[in-house]
Structure formats: structure tokens, C-alpha cells
Amino acid sequence: MKRSRLQNVLLDVAVTLAAVGGATVGMARAEGPTKPVSPVIMINKAAATTPIDTTLLRGPLSMLSGSGGNITVLTGKQGKLMVDAGIAVSRPRVEAALAAISNAPIKYLINTHYHWDHTDGNPWVRDDGATIIATAGTVKRVSRSIRVDDWDFTFPALPARAIPTEVLTANKTYHFDGQTVEVVLVDPAHTDTDLYVVFKEANVASLGDLFWNGVYPFIDNENGGGIDGMIKADDAVLARLKDDVVLVPGHGPVGNKKQFREFRDMLAGVRDKVSALKKQGKSRDEVVAAKPTAPYDAVYGHFVIDPDFFTRIVYDGLR
């Protein structure tokens, strides 16, 4: 698969981390002289210079990539509606990309979940005038600092003005510039704060980190996520989407339903192998050594979440 500029940057990050740390990306090392730099720091550093690419989707919708998670933009006479805000340091490049689409102001921002690579831009998007929409779980998690050992990073709370003010506890439909915008909440999957967005008339859906197109996903076991929840949520999303839907994944290029189904089947395939080994009493290191992701590595194994890291995530997430 052709890699985007961001994927190449992040691949460089992964290679650098492996070189400086002598350890796998994402592993927290409490001791030893060569503690690796948190991937978060490296990803932020990359975002500070990564150009923003704009991909036209259908109708009035575009995708911006290059600032952490992908950003969806709906534009029209009423203004702009964004799904996810990327990483804060990308602000000048994201603002330039938004201005190139239209001069309409940002009216709404929907956060698909709490992770910083989707919410770190909230303060400037709020300052530009947007009302921010998210699940109650996202509000809870961005309101205080939060430690994620798998990223070896403590994320600070968002400033008060950047905390979503429209708090969803059930699905909600918005009507914005001729589009029916369905915001759908899901049970804990990638995190316990997830939602996704369907733009009905355009037949486009923004799935946040429920879908990583062509790369292994991160799953936030420490904050309610887990491999089984992820598969269950993806099954429910697949059942709802039309066959010719255009999909904005959390990471990776614009996708289609076939790619999303392949991603779901990869999750289930790795889960079944890891689960069988775990049931035999194998330790996490033994399961990693057995390379349960091997059939999928050629497609999915070239990103920040490498095969070993993904295997550990699946193992830890099995209840």
C-alpha cells in the first residue's frame, strides 16, 4: 500500500525510537539507561512540520491529514463542521487548509474520542468560534490529566474553554447545511469515550479510531478499550453502513467498506490466535515470540503500532 507523508514521518519516528531506545515503540521502561522517548513526543514533533494534505470526499466533505488523527470537514453556507481537531502545533497549516476549502467559519467540532491526537487542537478551534460536541466520557477524560502507560505519557487536562460543552449521552442527529449528520455512540471499543459520525446524504462516515486503514490500531486498554469491544463495535458499524460508503479512518488513507471489513477480520484473526495461546497459559512475551500477527504484517505492520506492540495490546485487552 502506498504510504502517506504522515505515515512515512511516523515510520521514521518508529525507526528512530527503536534505534535510541533499543526497545519496541510504546513500551514503558521504568529503569535502565536507555529509556525511550515517548512516542507522543515524537509524534508531536513530527506534526510541528508535517504538511496538511486535503482529500476531497463526496459533496461538501473533505479530509485533512497530517496532524495526528484525520480531520473531516463539512463546509457550506452555515459554516464548517469538523470531526476531530488534530494536534495543536498543526494549527497554522490546518487553518490554511480550511481556508483553502472555503472562508466559512467553523461552527461545530465533534471529537470522536478523548485521545490527544484528536482533541489537542480543541483550544484553537474553540477560539475560532466552534461549539465542541463529544461523549460524556470524553469530557471526563479531557477534564483532568491522564496517564497512559502504553504511550509512556501523562496527558495534561485541556484548558477549561476547550472542554466540549455539548455533551452527548445518547445518539443525536444534527441538520447542517443540507446534510443529516448522525452522531452514534458506541460501547467501549477503542476507548470508553468513542462515537462515530455518518453524513447521510453524502454517504460518508467518520469512524475515528474504530478504523485504522491499512495499519495496526492502538487500543486503550487502560481507559475502557479492549480488542473484543473493538470487534463488536466494528461489526455494528459494518451492519449500518451502505456498501458504497466513503470512510474517514482515524489513521491511514480514505477507505471503503471492503477495507474496513478486512481490518475487522484482521482484528478477529489476531484475537483468536492470541486468545488460544493465552488460554494455554503462555506469557505475554511467549505469545509475542509466537508472532500471531504474521499473516497480516505485510499489510498492517508498517506503522507506529508495530506487530509486537499490537500483540501486547491484544493480549492485555483479553478479559
Residues that bind Zn ion (CB under 5 A): 115, 209
Q: Tell me how far, at minimum, the Cβ of 220 lies from Zn ion, in Å.
A: 7
CB of 304 to Zn ion, least distance (A): 12
Shortest distance, position 190 Cβ to Zn ion, whole Å: 6
Nearer to Zn ion, 100 or 157 (CB): 157
Name the minimum Å distance from CB 3 to Zn ion.
20
Nearer Cβ to Zn ion (60/218): 218
**Which of residues 150 and 209 has its CB atom nearest to Zn ion in the complex?**
209
The three-class DSSP label of residue 127 is helix
CA distance 45 to 43: 5
Query: Do residues 189 and 77 touch, judged by C-beta distance below 8 A?
Result: no
- The answer to whether 234 touches 271, Cβ cutoff 8 Å, is no
Least CB distance from residue 301 to Zn ion, whole Å? 19
Q: C-beta of 120: minimal distance to Zn ion in Å?
A: 12
Q: Which is nearer to Zn ion, 115 or 312 (CB)?
A: 115
The size of the chain, in residues, is 319
Q: Which residues of 267-305 are buried (b: 16+ CB within 10 A; e: fewer)?
A: bbebbebbbebbeeebeeeebbeeebbeebeeebbbbbb
User: Which 8-state DSSP code applies to residue 106?
Assistant: E
Q: Which residues contact 245 (CB under 8 A, 6 or more apart)?
A: 203, 204, 205, 256, 257
Euclidean distance between CA atoms 12 and 35, whole angstroms: 18
Closest CB to Zn ion among residues 101, 254: 254
C-beta of 209 vs 306, nearer to Zn ion? 209
* Cβ–Cβ under 8 Å, residues 120 and 86: yes
